[in-house]
């Protein structure tokens, strides 16, 4: 049986780590290398590194930062930020990433998902989907594009059909609020796809990560929970196991 994952998310605004609240208010948290070192000692399952300003500023995530973070990480690393071509993806993978996350480029040209998946393999391609509630409905949005006129569940099914290996689902309304995941959002999306779903946005306690899995996610991602509380990834996995959910128990050996 597959183990459910606990995945810290590290957001960048170029070279510094930050944490957002509903994608608006920002708090600077320092150096990504220091953060990566801390997570490496905490026995995490994976790490997601995203430059949230890259697409809006029409640039790619800094390659030297990827190399530095990868050198400190002995766990799978997913990297995203301004990746809009296979050459961008290749450069990121060469610098130590195991998977890539794409968002804006996929919304602009969905065929990019198929191209990237065919070139690098589905297991390498994660498509991010940022969701906001408006007038009682879920709508897709992007930091660089704003609200996008796509129907959420249709888009998620299309992402799967185009060959993505995972979907990274982020609730903008819950981002940084630490009041729990939007479990209804997770249920709706997980009900229409078969590929793994990573839930993000709203975790405030270890039990929240278990609730996301119970709602249909394959993995639970969080940022504020690990930045601003004493909860550890192992405590979060323990909550999953206590709820009868399979989660990793053995420590990963350093490379």
Q: Which residues are annotated as catalytic?
A: 130
Evaluate whether 78 touches 101 at the Cβ level (below 8 Å): yes
The dihedral built from the CA positions of residue 239, 193, 100 and 84, taken in this order, carries a sign that is negative
* Helix, strand, coil percent values for the chain (each to nearest 5): 35, 25, 40
Written as six digits, the tokens of 13 are 């605004």
Strands (E), 135-184: 137-142, 146-148, 166-171
Q: How far apart are CA 222 and CA 209, in angstroms?
A: 8
CA angle 236, 42, 94 (to 5 degrees): 110
Evaluate whether 215 touches 186 at the Cβ level (below 8 Å): yes
Q: How far apart are CA 131 and CA 247, in angstroms?
A: 27
Q: How far apart are CA 132 and CA 136, in angstroms?
A: 10
Report the half-sphere exposure of 155 (CA within 13 A, side-chain side).
Answer: 23
């Amino acid at each position: 049986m597959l183990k459910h994952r606990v995945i810290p998310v590290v957001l960048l605004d170029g070279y510094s780590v930050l944490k957002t609240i509903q994608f608006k208010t920002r708090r600077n948290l320092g150096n990504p290398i220091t953060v990566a070192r801390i997570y490496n000692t905490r026995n995490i399952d994976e790490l997601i590194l995203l430059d949230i300003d890259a697409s809006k500023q029409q640039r790619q995530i800094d390659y030297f930062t990827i190399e530095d973070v990868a050198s400190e990480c002995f766990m799978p690393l997913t990297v995203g930020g301004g990746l809009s071509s296979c050459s961008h993806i290749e450069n990121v993978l060469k610098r130590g990433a195991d998977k890539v996350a794409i968002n804006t480029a996929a919304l602009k040209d969905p065929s990019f998902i198929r191209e990237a998946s065919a070139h690098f393999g589905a297991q390498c391609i994660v498509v991010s989907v940022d969701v906001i509630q408006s007038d009682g409905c879920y709508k897709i949005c992007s930091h660089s594009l704003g609200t996008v006129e796509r129907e959420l569940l249709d888009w998620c099914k299309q992402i799967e059909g185009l060959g993505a290996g995972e979907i990274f689902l982020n609730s903008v309304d819950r981002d940084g609020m630490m009041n729990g995941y939007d479990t209804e959002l997770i249920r709706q999306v997980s009900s229409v796809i078969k590929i793994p779903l990573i839930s993000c946005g709203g975790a405030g306690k270890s039990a929240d990560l278990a609730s996301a899995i119970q709602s249909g996610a394959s993995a639970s991602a969080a940022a504020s929970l690990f930045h601003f509380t004493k909860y550890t990834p192992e405590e979060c996995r323990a909550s999953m196991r206590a709820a009868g959910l399979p989660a990793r128990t053995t420590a990963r050996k350093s490379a």
